[in-house]
Amino acid sequence: MHINISPTKTEVAKNFSDYLEELIKENKTTHIALSGGSTPKVVFDYMSEHYKDVDWSTVHLYWGDERCVPPTDSESNYKMTVDHLLSKINIPKDNIHRVRGEDLPELEAGRYGKVLEEELPIVESIPQFDLVILGMGDDGHTASIFPHEIGLWDSTNNCEVAIHPDSGQRRITITGKLINNAKMVAFLVTGSSKAEKVRSIITKEEGHESYPASLVAPSSGELIWFLDEEAAAQIN
């Protein structure tokens, strides 16, 4: 595990963008699972403005989770990515593999799981991303696997339908086997509200296993946390 701490959310965006640019340069093709949330939004804005030389034609983009809403809905992770990144860069449409949040959730989970099998290299009988980008909620959830449904992590399926514990909103999420089969996994976590869970998971406090984010342990050993000082305050 590597921990990268930056003073501000903007600096997190810069450091992660540097990391991502190098990864794309090193690979002939790069398969990336994107995350929603406020921190990726800052990253997308930063990259689209400051990293004009990235060859996006070599990059294939997927989503680690998506809300079951149309792609034009303000809650859609896909729409957020379009607004803050895709509309500002030159990337082939065929390289964008969105979750169809408008379709029947159970059917879409199955369809998207097959897309991942068709598009990604298969390693140890599991589709393999070059990079999975993850956020973490205040409750310790990651992707859309929440503490009350932590069993979804161990699903034999590539994708599952998750239910938000408060709103009841249905979501499509990749499962633990894909996350931990990735070549690299990067957490983007900012803000003081995340500090307690960050401390618990990184220091492996008693009870940390109840948080889905604690189950992220790629078999490659390549796990990196990009934190701002507020999120990292309790591990310094």
Res. 38 pLDDT band, cuts 50 70 90: confident
Name the H helices within 102-169: 105-119
Q: pTM of the entire structure?
A: 0.97
Q: What is the pLDDT of residues 110-145, one digit of tens each?
A: 999 999 999 999 999 999 999 999 999 999 999 999
CA distance 49 to 197: 32
Arithmetic mean of pLDDT over the chain? 97
Residue 144, helix vs strand vs coil:
coil
Contact 81, 42 (CB under 8 A): no
Q: Is the pLDDT of residue 236 over 70?
A: no
Res. 37 pLDDT band, cuts 50 70 90: confident
pLDDT of the residue at 197:
97
Residue 151, helix vs strand vs coil:
helix
pLDDT of the residue at 115:
98
Q: Is the pLDDT of residue 233 over 90?
A: yes
Residue with tokens 């190098």: 22
Instruction: Give the mean pLDDT of 159-167.
Output: 97
Question: In percent, how much of the chain has pLDDT > 70?
Answer: 100
Contact 189, 230 (CB under 8 A): no
